[in-house]
Structures are given as C-alpha cells and as structure tokens.
C-alpha cells in the first residue's frame, strides 16, 4: 500500500494505493522479512496529512511490523532464515552521537523512521538492518505482537517519563491503542496506582473501565482527585489545558503525540498561569522510541501477560482502517494481517 502524496483525509478516502513494486533486496547487514502483520498507527495519519511528511514519495507506511526472515545479507549474525522478527518506528540512527551512545537513539539527529524515511510494513516484504529488528517472545501471535512495536513501546516510554511511583495517581487523556496498553502496563507495574481516563467517546470510556480504570470522564471533566501524572495521546491542544488543570502540585504532563493538529490551537490562549502551570507543574514530550524501550517492553509484556485488544484488517483494507482511526472508531489496536 503506497503513499504517493500528501492528502486531506476529509476529502481523500483512499490515501494509499494498492500497487506492485519490486521485492526489496537485503544489503550486507539487513534482513528481508515476509510481513505477517503490521499495526496501524495515528502517525500514519500525520504522514498522510503532511504533519510529519515523508521526505520522498512514494513510500510504504507502517512501523509496527512482524514477519519472518526469508533472506539475509552476508554480515547478518543475529537472525537466521525462518526466525520471527519485528520492526518498530526506529529504523536507523547514527550509533555514534552523544544520544546514541547513551541509549537515547530516539533523539539522534540522524534518526530515521520506518514507513516514513524508509519503506515500512504495509507490504508483503520489507527489509531492515538486523540491529533494528527484534526477536519476539513466543507468547504472542504475529498480530498480537504488532501493536507492541509502537503503541506498546511508546506507551512504555511515556509511562517511564511520568516518573510515577506505585500508589501515585495516573491519568490518561485519550484512550486509543497506546493508552489501552499503558493502562494494562500501569496496573501490572504499579498495582496500587489509581488510573483515571479522560476520553471523548463513550465507547472508549466504557472500554477503559472494563480494563480496570477506576474513573472515566470526558476530556474537560474534573477527575474525582488531582493526579500525579497524566499522559496525553490526543492529536489536539485543548487536552493539554484540561490535563494541566487536573494535575497535583509538582505533577507532570507527558505528551505522547508526534504532532498536534492546528484546528483548536487558539484554545491555548486560555492558558491561565495559576490553574495550569503554577505549583511546579511540568510538561514533557515523548519523542520516537529508543531500541531499548522496544526490547524491554516486549519482555515485560510477555512476562506480565499483556496482550493488546485487536481489530483485524486485510492489507487492502488499510485505507478503511486509517479512516476509522481518523474518525476515532477505535477499540484497542488496529492491525493489518497478511497471513
Ligand atoms: Zn506509531
Ligand atoms: Zn546518533
């Protein structure tokens, strides 16, 4: 499924085109995967609508990829033919800058993203350097594993960046693929932490309560108590204000969104220093994902039995899955299943 140009999803209902391109040939340190499953992420909408545009068109999107190694370069040592492997948003980094050498390859100035800066997993085949591929615990099927590579791994990074301790209260603003995994992860890592959800749709709120949130309200509602940290996964601005208002003194808001949409930006003019920022409240963003996040999260998820709730689509139904995501028809994670 090829992305050939930027488009406006209010008008364009088929942003990706089902096409035939040559099978990729792996370089010396690359593996070739036959893709079995690829997760659908909100970031694909940001690419299609031009908020984080691919540098070159056409490109195959998709950065939550699970497949089987069917070919490999001469220097590959970590994978053999037939192995299962996964690929995340981090496709490449320089390996030598101050960020890379400290495990912050997500911040590398040479950071390359799967499915934006290189062909990704909305295809039958994709290639990747072996150092940017991961073994997958047996515990997960291909389609269960796919959303762990972005929704899960970035959720894991977001939760770590909140700095919360067991027993401190946690809020989640927006309740899509990533937040539903963060809720499961938080319940495992911080069993005494109360998790509260702010979500626009009633279905998302009901789903959150089903998964163990103790309270679920609309975005803009006041939670029954102030929160130590909140993770915002929405694509817009107003939730930043409503989240800040719901924080305790010293609380931290972590924004897990690669880009925000411009539609409601004027809302920021109602920023009110005493309510939103005073009392040492903090704002931090989550950028990309480090390789360490992916590897650690896969292991924790397998050990804790954290599996995503999945909605499955065929590869050719990618446009439908993306439009549903745009219209927030979401329950858990959407995955293209190829086998
Ligand atoms: Zn993603
Ligand atoms: Zn680097």
Instruction: Among the bound ligands, name the one nearest to the CA of residue 107.
Output: 2
Measured in Å, residue 323 CA sits from the centre of ligand 2 at: 35
**SS3 for 89?**
coil
* Tokens 């997958």 found at: 136
Give 172-184 pLDDT, tens digit per residue.
999 999 999 999 9
Q: Is 2 left (phi over 0), alpha (psi -120 to 50) or beta?
A: beta
Give 145-154 pLDDT, tens digit per residue.
999 999 999 9
Rounded distance between C-alpha atoms, residue 25 and residue 127, angstroms = 7
Rounded distance between C-alpha atoms, residue 261 and residue 253, angstroms = 18
Instruction: Among the bound ligands, name the one nearest to the CA of residue 95.
Output: 2
Structure tokens at 167: 């027993």
Residues in Cβ contact with 303 at an 8 Å cutoff, skipping those fewer than 6 apart: none
Instruction: Among the bound ligands, name the one nearest to the CA of residue 110.
Output: 2
Rounded distance between C-alpha atoms, residue 178 and residue 201, angstroms = 16
DSSP β-ladder status, 30-40 and 125-129: antiparallel
Measured in Å, residue 305 CA sits from the centre of ligand 1 at: 22
The dihedral sign for the CA sequence 45, 46, 50, 53: negative
Q: Could you report how far apart the first and last alpha carbons of the chain are, in Å?
A: 16
3-state helix, strand, coil in the chain (%, to 5): 30, 25, 45
Angle at alpha carbon of residue 211, lines to 210 and 215, rounded to 5°: 75
- In total, the chain counts a number of residues equal to 339
Measured in Å, residue 150 CA sits from the centre of ligand 1 at: 5
Q: Is the pLDDT of residue 328 over 90?
A: no
What's the pLDDT score for residue 257?
92
User: Whole-model pTM?
Assistant: 0.95
Measured in Å, residue 42 CA sits from the centre of ligand 1 at: 6
Task: Write down the mean pLDDT value for the chain.
Answer: 97
Rounded distance between C-alpha atoms, residue 150 and residue 332, angstroms = 13
Hey, which residues does 112 pair with through a beta bridge? 92
Instruction: Among the bound ligands, name the one nearest to the CA of residue 178.
Output: 1
Measured in Å, residue 278 CA sits from the centre of ligand 1 at: 32
Measured in Å, residue 193 CA sits from the centre of ligand 2 at: 35
Give 86-141 pLDDT, tens digit per residue.
999 999 999 999 999 999 999 999 999 999 999 999 999 999 999 999 999 999 99
Measured in Å, residue 294 CA sits from the centre of ligand 1 at: 12
Mean pLDDT of 66-76: 98
Q: Is the pLDDT of residue 250 over 80?
A: yes
Q: Is the pLDDT of residue 326 over 80?
A: yes
Measured in Å, residue 113 CA sits from the centre of ligand 1 at: 10
Rounded distance between C-alpha atoms, residue 324 and residue 321, angstroms = 5
Measured in Å, residue 41 CA sits from the centre of ligand 1 at: 4
Q: Is the pLDDT of residue 163 over 90?
A: yes
Measured in Å, residue 45 CA sits from the centre of ligand 1 at: 10
Instruction: Among the bound ligands, name the one nearest to the CA of residue 114.
Output: 1
Mean pLDDT of 76-92: 98
Measured in Å, residue 163 CA sits from the centre of ligand 2 at: 25
Give 275-306 pLDDT, tens digit per residue.
999 999 999 999 999 999 999 999 999 999 99
Q: Is the pLDDT of residue 339 over 90?
A: no
Rounded distance between C-alpha atoms, residue 26 and residue 59, angstroms = 17
Instruction: Among the bound ligands, name the one nearest to the CA of residue 102.
Output: 2
Instruction: Among the bound ligands, name the one nearest to the CA of residue 334.
Output: 1
Give 185-203 pLDDT, tens digit per residue.
999 999 999 999 999 999 9
What's the pLDDT score for residue 184?
96
Respond yes or no on whether the N-terminal peptide bond of residue 98 is cis (omega within 30° of 0): no
Measured in Å, residue 271 CA sits from the centre of ligand 1 at: 29
Rounded distance between C-alpha atoms, residue 306 and residue 165, angstroms = 20
Instruction: Among the bound ligands, name the one nearest to the CA of residue 113.
Output: 1
What's the pLDDT score for residue 88?
98
Instruction: Among the bound ligands, name the one nearest to the CA of residue 46.
Output: 1
What's the pLDDT score for residue 330?
81
Measured in Å, residue 209 CA sits from the centre of ligand 2 at: 41
Rounded distance between C-alpha atoms, residue 164 and residue 178, angstroms = 18
Hey, which residues does 336 pair with through a beta bridge? 38, 313
Instruction: Among the bound ligands, name the one nearest to the CA of residue 146.
Output: 1
**SS3 for 217?**
strand
Rounded distance between C-alpha atoms, residue 291 and residue 274, angstroms = 39
Q: Is 163 left (phi over 0), alpha (psi -120 to 50) or beta?
A: left
- What phi and psi, each to the nearest 5 degrees, are found at residue 125? -135, 150
Measured in Å, residue 106 CA sits from the centre of ligand 1 at: 13
Measured in Å, residue 101 CA sits from the centre of ligand 2 at: 7
Look at residues 297, 43, 39, 41 and name the one whose alpha carbon lies nearest to residue 160.
Answer: 297
Measured in Å, residue 111 CA sits from the centre of ligand 2 at: 7
For 50, other C-beta atoms within 10 Å of its C-beta total 13
């Amino acid at each position: 499924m090829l992305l050939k140009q930027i488009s406006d999803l209010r008008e364009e209902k088929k942003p990706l085109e089902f096409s035939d391109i040559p099978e990729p040939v792996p370089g010396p340190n690359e593996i070739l995967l036959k893709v079995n499953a690829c997760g659908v992420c909100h970031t694909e909408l940001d690419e299609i609508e031009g908020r984080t545009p691919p540098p070159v068109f056409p490109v195959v999107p998709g950065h939550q990829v699970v497949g089987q190694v069917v070919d490999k370069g001469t220097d590959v040592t970590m994978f053999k033919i037939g192995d299962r492997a996964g690929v995340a948003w981090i496709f490449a980094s320089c390996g030598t800058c101050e960020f890379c050498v400290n495990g912050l390859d997500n911040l590398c100035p040479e950071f390359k993203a799967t499915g934006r800066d290189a062909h990704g997993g909305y295809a039958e085949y994709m290639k990747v350097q072996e150092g940017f591929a991961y073994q997958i615990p047996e515990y997960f099927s291909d389609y269960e594993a796919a959303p762990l590579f972005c929704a899960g791994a970035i959720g894991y990074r977001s939760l770590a960046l909140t700095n919360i301790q067991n027993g401190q209260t946690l809020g989640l603003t927006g309740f899509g693929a990533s937040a539903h995994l963060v809720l499961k992860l938080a319940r495992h890592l911080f069993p005494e932490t109360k998790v509260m959800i702010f979500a626009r749709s009633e279905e998302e709120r009901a789903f959150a309560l089903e998964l163990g949130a103790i309270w679920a309200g609309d975005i803009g509602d006041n939670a029954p108590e102030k929160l130590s940290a909140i993770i915002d996964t929405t694509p817009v601005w107003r939730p930043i204000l409503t989240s800040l208002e719901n924080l305790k003194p010293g609380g931290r808001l972590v924004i897990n969104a690669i880009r925000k949409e411009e539609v409601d930006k004027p809302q920021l003019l109602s920023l009110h220093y005493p309510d939103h920022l005073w009392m040492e409240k903090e704002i931090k963003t989550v950028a990309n994902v480090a390789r360490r996040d992916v590897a650690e999260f896969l292991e924790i998820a397998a050990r804790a039995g954290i599996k995503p709730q999945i909605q499955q689509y065929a590869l050719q139904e990618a446009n439908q899955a993306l439009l549903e995501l745009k219209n927030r028809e979401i329950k858990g994670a959407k995955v293209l299943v190829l086998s």
